[in-house]
A = this chain, B = another copy of it.
Amino acid sequence: MITEISLIEIAKTTRQAAQKSAILSTKAKNEAIEAVAQALEKTTPKIITANQLDCRIAETDGIAKPLYNRLKMDENKLKGAIAGLRNVATLPDPVGTVQIHRELDTGLTLKRITCPLGVVGVVFEARPDAVIQISALAIKSGNGVILKGGKEAINSCQELVTAIRHGLSKTSVNPDTVQLLTTREETMELLKLDEYIDLIIPRGSNSFVKFVQENTQIPVLGHAEGICHIYVDKFADIPKAVKITTDAKTQYPAACNAAETLLVHTDIATKFLPEILPKLEKSQVELRGDTATKHILPSIKVATDTDWATEYSDLILSIKIVNSLEEAIAHINTYGSRHTDAIITEDSKTAEIFLAQIDAAGVFHNCSTRFSDGFRYGFGAEVGISTQKMPPRGPVGLEGLVTYKYQIFGDGHIAATYSGENAKLFTHRDLC
């Protein structure tokens, strides 16, 4: 109970501090980011020492190697994170963009303008460098941020947040816009604060993201799974199909935008599958096929229904032969995770139907699913990738940390003028 009350207090403080960020100029926010960068540089030895302590404890606790690698922050990694922070200062300010500018009547003007969300809650595992990146994005977008790192990174996170707040103390951005929670209980409490937190960003494993999604009423920016498909159509160019499938599966199999299932049109299967088999085998990809695939490639393993719904995140690829474009679309819309799916075809009409009817954030024609990424899209930063249906969807840049409001500027205008028998008409003239 004490935790809950004090957490609400922290959330309120953050919200009040962030409220003032909504009117800061881009210059003021960029100066604050630079001050944070300098504070982090100055505190580097202390941060490294704290991280070494976290690493020693983690080793004693027998932490898994990949988690340990994400936890460990040497001077180079910290330098990289500070460079990333300074890069956020160079990005366009997402606040203050006028999306609609319309004269409603003489002297009565409507504007729809982007504004900060308010307070963003970020819950992450290991990776203390996430603190730096997220804080920079929050400052740039005029938001407050409440950070909750894993207990394995507690000393690192505390040093980082102390440095960030110290850096902010000499700027127009109130240090209270960046807060750190340290106990596990606080995570559950944080997820309940839908009155005070406007968005939750989980950073961690699929099961971790899923847990967050299922335990909060606050909008969540993230994705639990990436079950991406490549559909090789009967009109596919086989060399392109081989090259793209190999890239989508092998270039970085742990990524959420790597392909997990290959669908092949029956008319091209006997030509295509024997061509791709040696390429994938050369890259040590384990193949699992349905009955029809096994007829063509008898040496591979059998795929079961579970395979269609599995994100391997590894060098495994399931293969299914389909009789039509419609069957491919139905399979993807049933088993996909609405992340990214690609079609390989030389027939533009077929591609058009695929791109329109596949229900996913990314629908690609003749290229690798691996392009589904905020940096590759040119967003400069990636806040997360969302597989929800409503915007923001797909890779989300700074834009995902803002909303909009409608402003109307009048000069004593009242609604009665535009109602009743002698109602005046609105002009509704767009000004931009």
Q: Which residues of A contact B (CB under 8 A)?
A: 19-20, 22-23, 102, 104, 108, 110, 115, 117-118, 198-199, 219, 237, 239-240, 243-244, 246-248, 251-252, 329, 333, 352-353, 355-357, 359-368, 370-372, 376-378, 389-391, 393-395, 403-416, 418-419, 426, 428
Contacts and interface: CB of A to CB of B under 8 A. Distances in A.
B357 A19 contact: yes
Given A248-B414, A248-B415, A366-B412, 15 more contacts: A104-B377, A108-B367, A117-B389, A118-B359, A198-B389, A198-B390, A219-B389, A240-B411, A243-B414, A247-B415, A362-B407, A367-B408, A371-B413, A376-B415, A395-B406
18 contacts: A19-B329, A102-B378, A104-B376, A108-B367, A237-B412, A246-B414, A252-B415, A361-B405, A363-B405, A364-B410, A365-B407, A366-B411, A366-B413, A368-B414, A370-B414, A371-B408, A376-B415, A391-B404
A391 B407 CA distance: 15
Contacts of A413: 244, 366-368, 371
A405 B377 CA distance: 13
B198 A414 contact: no
Nearest to A245: B414
A342 to B, nearest CB: 8
A428 B389 contact: no
Contact of A376 (B22, B329, B356, B426): B426
* Secondary structure class of chain A's binding surface, majority of residues: mixed
Contacts of A409: 364-367
Q: Which 3 A-B pairs have the closest CB atoms?
A: A367-B410, A370-B415, A247-B414
A408 B376 CA distance: 11
Q: How many copies does the complex hold?
A: 2
A199 B390 CA distance: 8
A362 to B, nearest CB: 5
Contacts of A240: 411-412
Contact of A407 (B23, B353, B355, B395): B355
B22 A357 contact: yes
Given A199-B390, A378-B428, A407-B355, A412 B239 contact: yes
Residue of A360, A366, A408, A418 most packed against chain B (CB within 10 A): A408
Given A366-B409, A403-B389, A377 B23 contact: no
Given A356-B22, A367-B413, A376 B102 contact: no
Contacts of A390: 117, 198-199, 219, 390, 403
A352 B23 contact: yes
A110 B361 CA distance: 13
A361 B110 CA distance: 13
B389 A393 contact: no
Q: Most chain-B Cβ atoms within 10 A of its Cβ — which of A102, A352, A415?
A: A415
A20 B366 CA distance: 23
A357 B405 contact: no
